[in-house]
Amino acid sequence: MTAEISDVDLHVWRGDAGGGELVSYHVPVREGMVVLDAVLWVQANLAADLAVRWNCKAAKCGSCSAEIDGFPRLMCKTPIAEYGSSLTVRPMKTFPVIKDLVTDVSWNYQVNKEIPPFTPSEKDLASSEPWRMQQKDVDRSIEFRKCIECFLCQDVCHVLREHSPAPFYGPRFMIRIASLEMHPRDTLDRRPLLKGKAGVGFCNITKCCTEVCPEHIKITDNGIIPLKERMDDVYFDPLRWALDRLSGDKHEKG
């Protein structure tokens, strides 16, 4: 067993919707310890009622999101050693606080419900044969399906931070829509949704979301920008607009 190698002063935001403050705890550090270990150590030894969400402790479930020294990260994936002798952990800023490090993220679940699900063609559904798809075709949506719903991208998105109610679904759900739109067998056109309630136009590509994604999904470059481009084809191409008006065609999937 490795001995305790040093100590750290952990400043944790404690409080609820009514307000709160940073409380400092002195934590012995073991080799390889991550921030979540330190928080759980405090819970087990110094503050039994310290509220924190966590599950897998292996960066696969996306539960333990917090702002560590001001930067949104997964606590289970952030080694203490990166911070020297002192660090601060606060709850995600964009969502209402429930208690301590736990925030109310239920808005995200409502948004997810508003996105029309995967919709294959009638022909594909009726066919009894297993579907054939090529790896290069499924690869396009695989990147987006890596999302673990930690909501760090939502937390850092300034559209969501600064507007209430939000006019934009946020990066997580742009990626959700992209994963459906780029699924080789999906047939639904979600561009009216993107333009309307999902509000893709509100994203002005500051790429903060990409920077905090623990799965390294290129949210802006590979997800949001192609979605914006798809919309532009339909809604903002004057020639296409005129032709559509003349022919009376509805938008087909691009």
- What residue ranges bind another protein (CB under 8 A)? 1-2, 16, 30-34, 37, 43-45, 48-63, 77, 79, 98-100, 102, 105-106, 109, 112-113, 117-118, 120, 124-125, 130-135, 138, 141-142, 145-146, 148-149, 180, 183, 186
Output the CA torsion sign for 134, 145, 232, 121. positive
For the bound state, the minimum distance from the C-beta of residue 218 to another protein, rounded and expressed in Å, comes to: 14
Contact assessment for residue 52 and residue 139, using Cβ atoms and an 8 Å cutoff: no
**Amino acid found at 9:** D
User: For another protein, which is the closer residue by CB, 30 or 158?
Assistant: 30
Residue 59: how many CB atoms within 10 A of its CB?
Answer: 17
Strand pairing of 97-99 and 19-29? Answer: unpaired
Contact 122, 160 (CB under 8 A): no
Shortest Cβ distance from residue 206 to another protein (Å)? 25
**From the CB of 146, what's the least distance to another protein, in Å?**
7
Shortest distance (Å) from residue 237 CB to another protein: 30
For the CB of residue 82, give the shortest distance to another protein in the complex, in Å.
11
Nearest CB to another protein, comparing residues 44 and 205: 44
Which residue's CB is nearer to another protein, number 184 or number 201? 184
CA-based nearest residue to 191, from 163, 158, 228: 228
Nearest residue (CB) to another protein, 18 versus 248: 18
Measure the CA–CA gap between 62 and 59, rounded to whole angstroms.
Answer: 6
Query: Cα Rg for the chain, rounded, in angstroms?
Result: 22
Residue with tokens 């606060």: 90
CA distance 55 to 140: 29
Q: What backbone phi and psi angles, to 5 degrees, belong to 88? A: -120, 135
Burial of 211 (0-12, 13-18, 19+ CB in 10 A): middle
φ/ψ of 236, rounded to 5, equals -125, 5
Nearer to another protein, 67 or 186 (CB): 186
- Across the chain, the runs of DSSP E, i.e. the strands, are 6-16, 19-29, 65-68, 71-74, 86-90, 97-99, 102-103
To another protein, the closest distance from the beta carbon of 53 in angstroms equals: 7
- What's the closest the beta carbon of residue 42 comes to another protein, in angstroms? 11
Closer residue to another protein, CB minimum distance, 55 or 206: 55
With respect to another protein, which residue has the nearer C-beta, 16 or 232? 16
